[in-house]
Amino acid sequence: MLDAARRRIIHGGLFASAAGMASSLFPGPVAAAQAVAPGASHHAGAMEVLHGGMTTVGEVDRERNGFDPTEIMTDWDVGQVSIADDGRRVRIYEITAEDKEIEIAPGLLFPAWTYNGRVPGPTLRATEGDRLRIVFRNQGSHPHSMHFHGIHSARMDGVPGAGVIDPGAEFVYEFDAKPFGCHLYHCHALPLKRHIHKGMYGAFIVDPDPARHPEQEETARSRLLGAPENGRWQEFVMVMNAFDTNFDDENEVYAVNTVAHAYMKRPIAIDRARPVRVYLVNVTEFDPINSFHLHGNFFDYYDHGTTLTPTARTIDTVMQCQAQRGILEISFAEHEPGMYMFHAHQSEFAELGWMSLFDVRAGATA
Ligand SMILES: [Cu+2]
């Protein structure tokens, strides 16, 4: 799998490889990136103290991208909510497919296909039993769809003949939010791997309805967005993705929520007194598996998020194939404050961008 070009990337570090790829593919923004020497003081941060500067150099322009990996982690799209005549809650989501160039590492632009202009697409969140209507408009240059991992009819599956629509067209997917869990959606137009690796995917979270789980009502409430029991948790969505920047069916850049090393440069602030819940989804194309490994701590894991009791307890690493996902629950209550790493335990992925930090603090976080 590991060809000579990739080895050069690994040994040269991501900065060198990103600049090299960008200069051949995307002349322009590279000059700015190259002007910043590795180790320059103005970007010195936690990652250099902890990891010898083994990270990207410079900053991604979040404004131009129109999305911010830090905000994506907690940005839930709950739709437009109304109550139907029969008393059921209805949620309407509006999603538009569009072509968009995004910056995935400093100076490295990728010609993405997006949902609502961002990668990953909006994190759609609902409660078990809600009626969902997803109004999907295709303003991109290719046929696209939204294929949900959930329970629905064949007509609503988002595959060719059932919701793959041409540029300029519109389709409404309608189904009930079930089962509760940590799910995803992605484009299912052909060729599938192209539409996925171009950026057409997002998380789809269905919170359990506590009334349906009387035997574990308290646990269900802790998962229900807006419930007081949920408010004490620090919840984050993390979509593990990667980018094939030279179109050779192998990835050159790896990340959580698209931007390489985003959470090395801006570690995720954690109040150690409050538990942490991560909705983890793997959409990585081309590589058979991805993984999440936490330093200095262990977590409980709920495969697919479809149970209220953990499917694995006290683990520090979990593997996921593409489209596999789950919920991690972590406590730092007994830990001393500090920077706690987490990353893919495929070392290659970590060095090419999938490396992050929790900044665990005593006392409230801003
Ligand atoms: Cu597509």
Instruction: Provide the 3-class DSSP secondary structure of residue 180.
Output: coil
- Residue 15 C-alpha to ligand 1 middle, in angstroms? 30
Residues 260, 263, 265, 267, Cα dihedral to 10°: -170
- pLDDT above 80 (res 265): yes
What pLDDT score does 24 carry?
Answer: 37
- pLDDT above 90 (res 207): yes
- Residue 269 C-alpha to ligand 1 middle, in angstroms? 35
Model confidence pLDDT, tens digit, residues 34-52: 333 333 333 334 444 444 4
* Mean pLDDT rounded to a whole number for the chain: 88
- Residue 102 C-alpha to ligand 1 middle, in angstroms? 16
Q: How confident is the model at residue 22 (pLDDT cuts 50, 70, 90)?
A: very low
Model confidence pLDDT, tens digit, residues 285-320: 999 999 999 999 999 999 999 999 999 999 999 999
Buried b (16+ CB within 10 A) or exposed e, 14-46: bbebbbbbbbeebeebbeebbebeeeeeebeeb
Mean pLDDT of 320-346: 97
- Residue 155 C-alpha to ligand 1 middle, in angstroms? 18
The pTM is what? 0.87
- pLDDT above 50 (res 14): no
Q: How confident is the model at residue 363 (pLDDT cuts 50, 70, 90)?
A: confident
- Residue 61 C-alpha to ligand 1 middle, in angstroms? 25
- Residue 144 C-alpha to ligand 1 middle, in angstroms? 4
Model confidence pLDDT, tens digit, residues 111-167: 999 999 999 999 999 999 999 999 999 999 999 999 999 999 999 999 999 999 999
CA-to-CA distance for 228 and 260, rounded, in angstroms?
Answer: 34
- Residue 185 C-alpha to ligand 1 middle, in angstroms? 11
Positive or negative CA dihedral for 283, 288, 294, 300?
A: positive
Count of CB atoms situated within 10 Å of the CB of 358: 26
Phi, psi of 189 (to 5 degrees): -75, 160
Model confidence pLDDT, tens digit, residues 156-188: 999 999 999 999 999 999 999 999 999 999 999
- Residue 188 C-alpha to ligand 1 middle, in angstroms? 6
- Residue 198 C-alpha to ligand 1 middle, in angstroms? 8
CA-to-CA distance for 281 and 124, rounded, in angstroms?
Answer: 13
Phi, psi of 275 (to 5 degrees): -70, 155
- Residue 104 C-alpha to ligand 1 middle, in angstroms? 19
- Residue 49 C-alpha to ligand 1 middle, in angstroms? 41
- Residue 341 C-alpha to ligand 1 middle, in angstroms? 34
- Residue 72 C-alpha to ligand 1 middle, in angstroms? 21
Helix, strand, coil shares, percent, the chain, to 5:
20, 35, 40
- Residue 136 C-alpha to ligand 1 middle, in angstroms? 12
- Residue 140 C-alpha to ligand 1 middle, in angstroms? 9
